[in-house]
């Protein structure tokens, strides 16, 4: 090899190095731009949301990605409901006397009905334990007729306290999700549903409840205006729950203990009544999932999905001082990762098609992913697998990658292979009781049988180990999650994100070129759905 050949090879390596460095610099810039005040918290249906969608779509266009139809923007029709605090009320009377409840401090309430007014008058209250009707577990908390009544419900599912064979031990099942509880209450005919907040089983403090459920609430638009839902849904603090139970001579702990039995019978709160009036301002908007793809060279009709939600909580004009929920970690980091990987694969020729998805309205209840799962531009049976990225860590490099719902699918050994090449290991979620597997967009596609891996940042940090990693995670949850303080600071260390993006890229590259068809493991709840889907290809 002569000197000119050596210099040419060195020049190529230099260019590759510069390109990779520039690509990650672009990643950081994406995070900074989307979490800036200019993007106003990225709420769907707002100027900030419009700016975010355009930013992602323009990036896809600059890369020459293909689109499904004539645009990267796939419409999702939304209805926003904003409670008029000046005319609306939720009144709990105990013994004829109103509890002195203050909105946000003691309770938050709303209606999912897409109407300008919803009323509940003098509704009786019934404690229905965990509000679970699960035949497969032999568990039914609705052993009495609650039609026309308001049900009072504990958060999470019984397994959180029992930690035995009932349900999934301490790991939350879907029955522990607040979404299920409100849906089931409506199916049972209740006119009101109240969840009592408790920090440990909820996995977050009251501050998250009050910020998430106040201000405009966004949902998919329904032809029937969602009239099947109860006229009132609410959360109350633990203190309010204790006051309700004290009115019938019981403590919160005593009532919870009763609820931890399959033989539990609903308990009327005999001297308590609820009345409410909800006045809403309606805002109809069209948001979008932002979707582009690199077409496969050999199997273009087989798809790998890479996804993250682009939305956050927007602006709250009722706050003093900072009013913008910038959502830097949640989820500018994940959205920028999708954009980064789109740029990487736009320069390659994968055998299978790779789809890059920015999802809308995740913060409003996984709405963008739910809509796309029902209206996919390709069939679930054509979808090989997916990767979901919902918040990447700025805590620096870690020895591990957390897999939410670990032990679910054959995607894990593939990810493990490329993690090991970087000296990292896969680890299960350290807090399965918090139900993260049911709290991000991948679950919408899992319900269609599609194997999707939800990879979270590791917590076994190179500097400080698991103790330091848990300290970081707990601090974020307690102080920054769904708060205006979720912003970039000079303490951000991007080195762990850079390493993980390299691993994720290799993982996707393998799926796109190997010809393998990974499935859920035999014992997984989604395996039968997947098998049926593939048998009908």
Q: What does the pLDDT look like over 290-326, one tens digit per residue?
A: 999 999 999 999 999 999 999 999 999 989 999 999 9
Pick the more confident residue, 292 or 432: 292
Name, in order, each residue with C-beta under 8 angstroms of 98's C-beta and a sequence gap of 6 or more. Answer: 91, 92
Confidence category of residue 169, pLDDT binned at 50, 70, 90: confident
Which is higher by pLDDT, 9 or 454? 454
Pairing of strands 324-325, 232-236: unpaired
Q: What is the mean pLDDT of residues 400-410?
A: 94
Break the chain into its structural domains and give their ranges: 22-66+295-460+494-535, 81-282
The kind and range of the H/E element at 421 are: helix 411-421
Per-residue pLDDT, 6: 47
Q: Say whether pLDDT at 475 is over 70.
A: yes
Phi–psi pair at 181, nearest 5 degrees? -60, -45
Backbone angles phi and psi of 434, in degrees to 5: -85, -10
Share of the chain above pLDDT 90, in %: 85
On whether the CB atoms of residues 312 and 359 are closer than 8 A, the answer is no
The packing angle between helices 252-259 and 238-246, to 10°, is 90
Report pLDDT digits (tens) over 249-291.
999 999 999 999 999 999 999 999 999 999 999 999 899 999 9
pLDDT at position 21 is: 54
Residue 19 has pLDDT above 70, yes or no: no
Find the range with the poorest average confidence among 26-35, 216-225, 296-305, 495-504: 216-225
Give the whole-angstrom CA distance, residue 196 versus residue 40.
Answer: 32
Residue 419 has pLDDT above 90, yes or no: yes
**Shared fold status for 22-66+295-460+494-535 and 81-282:** no
Round to whole Å and give the CA distance between 508 and 501.
10
Please give the helix or strand (H or E) that residue 110 lies within, else none.
strand 107-110
Q: pLDDT at residue 128 above 50?
A: yes
pLDDT digits (tens, 9 = 90+) for 324-378: 999 999 999 999 999 999 999 999 999 999 999 999 999 988 999 999 999 999 9
Whether residue 165 has pLDDT greater than 60: yes
pLDDT band at 174 (very low <50, low <70, confident <90, very high): confident
Would you say residue 13 has pLDDT above 50? no
**Cβ-Cβ contacts under 8 Å for 126 (sequence gap 6 or more):** 144, 146, 149, 150, 151, 152, 266, 267, 268, 269
pLDDT for the residue 436:
84
pLDDT at residue 10 above 50?
no
pLDDT at 12: 42
Contact assessment for residue 359 and residue 526, using Cβ atoms and an 8 Å cutoff: no
Flag whether pLDDT at 9 surpasses 80: no
Structure tokens of 8?
């040419």
Question: Which residues does 148 contact at the CB level (< 8 Å), separation at least 6?
Answer: 123, 124, 189, 190, 191
pLDDT average, residue stretch 525-531? 90
Query: In the predicted model, what is the mean pLDDT of residues 488-513?
Result: 97
Options 3.40.630.20, 2.40.10.10, 3.40.630.10, 3.40.50.300; CATH for 22-66+295-460+494-535 is 3.40.630.10
pLDDT tier for residue 164 given thresholds of 50, 70 and 90: confident
Q: In whole angstroms, what is the distance from residue 389 CA to residue 335 CA? A: 8
Per-residue pLDDT tens for 132-159? 999 888 999 999 999 999 999 999 999 9
pLDDT over 50 (residue 16)? no
User: What pLDDT is stored for residue 1 in this prediction?
Assistant: 53
pLDDT at 3 > cutoff 60? no
Residue the block writes with tokens 């959360």: 235
Q: What backbone phi and psi angles, to 5 degrees, belong to 263?
A: -90, 5
- Of 452, 401, 410, residue with least CA distance to 428: 401
226-256 per-position pLDDT tens digit? 999 999 999 999 999 999 999 999 999 999 9
Please state the pTM of the whole predicted model.
Answer: 0.79
Please give the pLDDT value at position 481: 93
Contacts of 257 (CB under 8 A, 6+ apart): none
At 15, the pLDDT band (50, 70, 90 cuts) reads: very low
Name the CATH code of domain 81-282 (choices 3.40.50.300, 3.30.450.20, 3.50.30.30, 3.30.70.100).
Answer: 3.50.30.30
More confident residue, 168 or 246: 246
pLDDT at 2: 53
- Confidence class for position 7, pLDDT limits 50, 70, 90: very low
Q: 18-23 long-range contacts, Cβ below 8 Å, gap at least 24?
A: 23/340, 23/343, 23/344
pLDDT tens-place string over residues 68-77: 999 999 999 9
Q: Is the peptide bond between 334 and the residue preceding it cis, with omega within 30 degrees of 0? A: no
């Amino acid at each position: 090899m002569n000197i000119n050949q050596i210099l040419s090879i060195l020049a190529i390596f230099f260019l590759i190095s510069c390109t990779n460095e520039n690509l990650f610099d672009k990643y950081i810039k994406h995070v900074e731009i989307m979490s800036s005040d200019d993007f106003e918290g990225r709420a769907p249906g707002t100027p900030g949301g419009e700016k975010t969608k355009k930013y992602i779509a323009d990036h896809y266009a600059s890369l020459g990605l293909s689109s499904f139809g004539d645009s990267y923007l796939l419409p999702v029709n939304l209805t926003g409901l904003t409670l008029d605090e000046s005319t609306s009320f939720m009144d709990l009377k105990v013994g004829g006397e109103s509890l002195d409840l203050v909105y946000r401090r003691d309770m938050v309430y709303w209606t999912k009905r897409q109407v300008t007014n919803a009323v509940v008058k003098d509704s009786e209250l019934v404690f229905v334990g965990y509000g679970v009707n699960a035949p497969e577990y032999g568990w039914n908390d609705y052993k009495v007729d609650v039609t026309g009544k308001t049900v009072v419900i504990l958060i999470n599912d019984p397994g959180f306290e029992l930690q035995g064979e009932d349900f999934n031990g301490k790991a939350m099942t879907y029955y522990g999700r607040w979404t299920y509880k409100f849906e089931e209450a409506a199916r049972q005919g209740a006119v009101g549903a109240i969840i009592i907040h408790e920090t440990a089983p909820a996995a977050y403090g009251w501050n998250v409840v009050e910020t998430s459920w106040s201000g405009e609430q966004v949902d998919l638009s329904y032809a029937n205006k969602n009239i099947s839902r109860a006229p009132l849904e609410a959360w109350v603090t633990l203190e309010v729950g204790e006051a309700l139970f004290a009115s019938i001579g019981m403590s919160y702990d005593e009532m919870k203990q009763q609820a931890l039995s399959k033989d539990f019978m609903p308990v009327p709160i005999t001297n308590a009544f609820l009345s409410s009036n909800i006045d809403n301002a309606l805002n109809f908007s069209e948001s979008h999932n932002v979707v582009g793809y690199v077409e496969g060279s050999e199997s273009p009709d087989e798809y790998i999905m890479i996804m993250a939600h682009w939305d956050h909580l927007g602006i709250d004009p009722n706050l003093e001082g900072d009013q913008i929920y910038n959502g830097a970690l949640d989820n500018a980091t994940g959205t920028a990762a999708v954009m980064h990987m789109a740029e990487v694969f736009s320069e390659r020729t994968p055998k299978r098609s790779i789809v890059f998805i920015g999802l809308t309205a995740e913060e409003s209840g996984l709405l963008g992913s739910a809509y796309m799962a029902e209206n996919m531009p390709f069939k679930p049976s054509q979808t090989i697998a997916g990767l979901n990225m919902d918040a990447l860590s700025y805590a620096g490099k870690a020895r591990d990658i957390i897999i939410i719902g670990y032990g679910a699918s054959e995607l894990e050994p593939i990810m493990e292979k490329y993690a090991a090449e970087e000296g990292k290991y896969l680890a299960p979620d350290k807090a399965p009781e918090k139900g993260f597997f049911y709290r991000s967009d991948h679950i919408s596609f899992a319900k269609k049988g599609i194997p999707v891996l939800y990879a979270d940042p590791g917590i076994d940090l190179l500097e400080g180990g698991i103790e330091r990693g848990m300290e970081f995670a707990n601090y974020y949850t307690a102080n920054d999650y769904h708060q205006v303080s979720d912003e970039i600071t000079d303490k951000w260390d991007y080195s762990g994100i850079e390493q993980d993006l390299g691993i994720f890229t290799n993982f996707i590259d393998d799926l796109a070129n190997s010809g393998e068809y990974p499935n859920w493991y035999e014992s997984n709840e989604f395996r039968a759905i997947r098998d049926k889907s593939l048998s009908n290809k």
